[in-house]
Amino acid sequence: MTVTVRNQCCPNKKCVYAGQFLRGNVISHSRKSPRFLCKACGKTWVAHREEPRYHLHTDFQKVIEVLKFLSGGASVRGTARNMGVSTSTVQRWKTRFADYSLT
């Protein structure tokens, strides 16, 4: 399935366009990654119709573990040590999946 603005809706529950498609509020935020921006509330998110894992070389489960550490309040350095990856890798994942929901 192709990720386009057509199959994205704003994930911000407080937004007037929450859960609504094709309202013209969603624009593509970046050509390099499947990020979208809601013009109505300013929320940005990673495409949520397709898992944002397709150009990752690492097992996505590892990314999830890293995100769990970070969301639990662990430092980038500490997470990197625990997971056996470099701090720059953790930092990159943290940025890339900033809006990715673990639930």
Residues 60-99 that bind Zn ion (CB under 5 A): none
Judged by CB under 5 A, the residue of 28, 33, 40, 94 near Zn ion is: 40
Is the CB of residue 27 less than 8 Å from the CB of residue 34? no
Q: How many other CB atoms are there within 10 angstroms of residue 89's CB atom?
A: 18
Q: Report the nearest approach of Zn ion to the CB of residue 30 (Å).
A: 17
Judged by CB under 5 A, the residue of 9, 38, 63, 67 near Zn ion is: 38
Q: Please say which residue, 13 or 55, places its beta carbon nearer to Zn ion.
A: 13
Q: Please say which residue, 48 or 62, places its beta carbon nearer to Zn ion.
A: 48
| CA dist., res. 62 & res. 18, Å (int) | 30
Check binding of 5 to Zn ion (CB under 5 A): no
Residues sharing a CB contact under 8 Å with residue 2, sequence separation 6 or more, in sequence order: none
Check binding of 12 to Zn ion (CB under 5 A): yes
Cα–Cα separations (whole angstroms), residue 55 to 32, 48, 52: 11, 15, 8
| CA dist., res. 24 & res. 39, Å (int) | 8
Check binding of 26 to Zn ion (CB under 5 A): no
Residues of the shown chain interacting with Zn ion in the complex, contacts defined by CB under 5 A: 10, 12, 15, 38, 40-41, 43
